[in-house]
Amino acid sequence: MTDNKPFMASMTAFINQSKQAHQALPQVLGMKILARLVTMSPVGNADTWQGKAPPGYTGGRFRGNWQVTFDVPAETETGRIDPRGNLTLTEGMQQLTQFTPGTQAIYFSNTVPYAYRLEFGHSKQAPNGMVRVTAEAFQTLFNQAVKEMKK
């Protein structure tokens, strides 16, 4: 009878690597999607507006409100004002690390009341929106994530 321990060890290593990849790919891809959504998101600049900004206005509410959730979309605002998007990306990455196999959906939500208007051209900074452009780029983002996983 032959010793099949090396074969079983190889199979176990392959299965474990596959499980890790199964969990890591959505995280890597999710971060690419979130980064694109956040960086494409317009940030209010009162200097370019026809009207006056409210007293104390600071742009970045929309950019700061991107949220990553699993299986159920976000329903409330974050209250975060994040003109550069760094806090939003950090929070999103932290959330993506919580992904587990069996998750049915990953949602990227922005719940500010004017999100729909921004998606459909209200801002000259993102005339084609953010979600639609990112959705069109999904295959490219997926391919990039897979390539990164192979490194």
- Name the nearest CA neighbour of 30 among 77, 91, 111: 91
- The pLDDT value recorded for residue 21 is 62
The token duo for 9 is 């060890």
Average the pLDDT over 14-42 and give the result: 84
pLDDT at 67: 99
What is the spatial distance between Cα 9 and Cα 110, in angstroms, rounded to a whole number? 46
Percentage of the chain surpassing pLDDT 90? 68
The Cα 126–Cα 42 span in angstroms is 6
81-120, pLDDT tens digit by residue?
999 999 999 999 999 999 988 899 999 999 999 999 999 9
**Total-model pTM:** 0.84
